[in-house]
């Protein structure tokens, strides 16, 4: 009996010991490199990483859209006979998208920041602010009384939560870039990396740029290290860092978010459809006509039966219904979240305002070449490097301005950002996946793309302008030595199209459109440097890491 008890105790001891050793081995394995066996995050030095990182955080204003496969393109008849949205199979990676369209209030915050950091009263910066202000004159109609919107829509608090309009595609892109920097700037401050509240008192040449901080952290905030490493956490990091490698947050730390940007056309259409609501196992129950399920624009819900599900023009002279009981509650734009969201939780993906997307417009979607994260518009650039081997930072004296076709002058970059230049043969030599910087014409506009290519050159066009497939108008604007603009309108009677590399896709119906345009598959285009009273935008952000936020679960 005694021997049995001793044997039992010995067995229990052996089991406990093995479990303890196993736990220790597991812990050592987790803290050590699988490649070298070296201990990571050691106080003595070596490789440092964040073992607590789980997944990308959802940025302010965004909702998660899990990617997947879908049929992109038309499900309705094509009375316009454009044939520019034939059905094709596409796959979109997971991403994030703004819950609502960017509102007047959000855009006014951007304008306020620009005015404080780059005062328009300063001659060097006046064009920065002016180039960002929306065109409020888009509300004017030669046979309409709309001055109340011209004077009030952008700035009056009554319209604060209405979608911003009068914004060109270029302005929408610049807003997205600004938003990226402000969100990441606050993140660094909240984590105790940068000095507290320094973001409220910066000089024009010392603004925060995410890419500058990641690529040349000592040059961020104009090289002011008391701001860049002014937080409490930076003090403790400096104590355990033997060199400058780990003094600053790096991309591998996973703390800073990817860029806010305009969604691609494929992303926007996928998000608008919200097909998750009609998914059965691994198939969809058909193809949606609208962001909601069903073939009608009115609600079939018992409590809201008969109510319109979006803000659009219901007929000739009918923008909002009969007074006293409005069909859709709006005559121009409506306050965001006035209608139910789709199955992804996104509001106003049909109606209210149409929305800019990132893509250059072409009459076809070239799914034969690519069916994964489809996007036309890639212009690859790289950081400019100076003679000293360091990246070139834009200063107040080196801002690059563009004169648009309508004569408006906009800043291409801002002080504190890294100057971008086109890629060259150092990046393209012997590559098979890309061969040049500007790929907007790829397979549709360059000489290699069509046997029907023809050069639309003329005596008054440069050789470069003549080498183009689309015979669109060329509006030229020159500035003389005094700054006066010489606008030369294209007077040619031989133009055959409005399509070129400067027109962008916009999606979704607006308050001015009939229900035909509410179909997320519909696609139209507009010059990227012009604006209207019915096109707004919302931002997106790429998802890094796993496709899904939730792990796979047993189905039974």
Better-predicted residue by pLDDT, 449 or 21: 449
Q: What three-state secondary structure class fits 28?
A: helix
Each residue's pLDDT tens digit, 89-126: 999 999 999 999 999 999 999 999 999 999 998 888 88
Where in the chain are all domains bearing CATH 3.90.1580.10? 63-191+255-377+501-542
| Alpha helices per DSSP H over 274-395 | none
Asked whether residue 460 carries a pLDDT value surpassing 60, the answer given is no
Over residues 514-524, mean pLDDT: 94
169-190 vs 104-117: helix crossing angle, rounded to 10: 70
Confidence band, pLDDT 50/70/90 cuts, at residue 503: very high
**328 Cβ contact list (under 8 Å, min separation 6):** 307, 308, 310, 311, 312, 314, 320, 321, 334, 351
Cα separation of 111 and 138, whole Å?
Answer: 19
Work out the pLDDT band at 467, boundaries 50, 70, 90: low
Beta strands 283-284 and 321-322, pairing class:
unpaired
Task: State CA 60 to chain mean position distance.
Answer: 13
pLDDT at 19: 53
For residue 461, the model assigns a pLDDT of 46
Residue 505: DSSP 8-state = E
- Is the backbone of residue 329 left (phi > 0), alpha (psi -120 to 50) or beta? left
Query: Is a pLDDT exceeding 90 seen at residue 202?
Result: no
The two tokens of residue 38 are 């070296």
Q: For 391-436, how does the pLDDT look when each residue is reduced to its tens digit (9 = 90+)?
A: 999 988 888 888 888 888 888 889 999 999 999 999 999 999 999 9
Per-residue pLDDT for 136 more than 60?
yes
Dihedral angle sign, alpha carbons of residues 313, 319, 321, 322: negative
**CATH class, 63-191+255-377+501-542 region:** alpha beta
């Amino acid at each position: 009996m005694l021997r049995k008890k001793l044997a039992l105790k010995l067995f229990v001891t052996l089991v406990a010991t093995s479990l303890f050793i196993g736990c220790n081995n597991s812990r050592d394995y987790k803290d050590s490199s699988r490649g070298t066996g070296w201990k990571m995050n050691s106080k003595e030095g070596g490789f440092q990483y964040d073992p607590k990182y789980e997944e990308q955080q959802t940025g302010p204003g965004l909702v998660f859209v899990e990617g997947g496969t879908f049929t992109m393109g038309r499900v309705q008849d094509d009375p316009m006979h454009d044939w520019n949205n034939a059905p094709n199979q596409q796959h979109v990676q997971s991403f994030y998208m703004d819950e609502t369209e960017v509102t007047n209030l959000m855009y006014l915050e951007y304008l306020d920041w620009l005015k404080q950091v780059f005062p328009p009263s300063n001659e060097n910066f006046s064009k920065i602010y002016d180039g960002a202000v929306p065109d409020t004159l888009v509300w004017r109609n030669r046979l309409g009384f709309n001055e109340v919107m011209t004077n009030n829509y952008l700035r009056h608090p009554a319209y604060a939560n209405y979608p911003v309009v009068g914004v060109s595609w270029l302005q929408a892109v610049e807003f997205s870039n600004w938003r990226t920097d402000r969100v990441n700037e606050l993140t660094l401050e909240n984590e105790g990396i940068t000095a507290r509240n320094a973001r409220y008192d910066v000089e024009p040449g010392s603004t925060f740029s995410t890419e500058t901080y990641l690529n040349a952290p000592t040059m961020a905030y104009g090289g002011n290290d008391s701001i860049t490493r002014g937080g409490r956490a930076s003090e403790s990091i400096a104590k355990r860092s033997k060199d400058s490698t780990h003094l600053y947050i790096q991309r591998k730390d996973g703390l800073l978010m990817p860029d806010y940007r305009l969604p691609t056309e494929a992303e926007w259409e996928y998000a608008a459809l919200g097909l998750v609501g009609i998914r059965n196992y691994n198939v969809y129950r058909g193809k949606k006509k609208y962001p909601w399920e069903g073939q009608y624009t009115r609600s079939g819900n018992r409590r809201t039966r008969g109510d319109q599900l979006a803000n659009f023009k219901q007929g000739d002279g009918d923008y909002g219904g009969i007074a006293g009981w409005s069909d859709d509650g709006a005559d121009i734009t409506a306050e965001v979240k006035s209608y139910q969201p789709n199955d992804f939780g996104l509001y106003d993906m049909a109606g209210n305002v149409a929305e800019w997307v990132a893509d250059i417009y072409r009459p076809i979607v070239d799914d034969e070449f690519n069916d994964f994260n489809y996007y036309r518009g890639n212009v690859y650039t790289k950081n400019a490097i100076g003679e000293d081997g360091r990246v070139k930072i834009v200063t107040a004296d080196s801002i690059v301005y563009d004169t648009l076709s309508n004569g408006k002058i906009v800043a291409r970059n801002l002080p504190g950002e890294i100057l971008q230049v086109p890629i060259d043969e150092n990046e393209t030599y012997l590559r098979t996946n890309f061969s040049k910087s500007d790929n907007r014409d790829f397979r549709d506009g360059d000489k290699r793309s069509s046997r029907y290519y023809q050069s639309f050159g003329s005596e008054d066009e440069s050789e470069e302008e003549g080498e183009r497939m689309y015979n669109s108008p060329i509006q030229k604007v020159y500035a003389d030595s005094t700054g006066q603009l010489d606008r030369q309108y294209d007077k040619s009677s031989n133009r055959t199209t409005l399509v070129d590399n400067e027109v962008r896709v916009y999606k979704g119906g607006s308050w001015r459109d009939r229900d035909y345009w509410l179909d997320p598959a519909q696609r139209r285009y507009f010059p990227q440097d012009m604006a209207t009273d019915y096109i707004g935008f919302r931002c997106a952000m790429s998802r890094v890491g796993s496709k899904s936020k939730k792990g796979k679960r047993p189905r039974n």
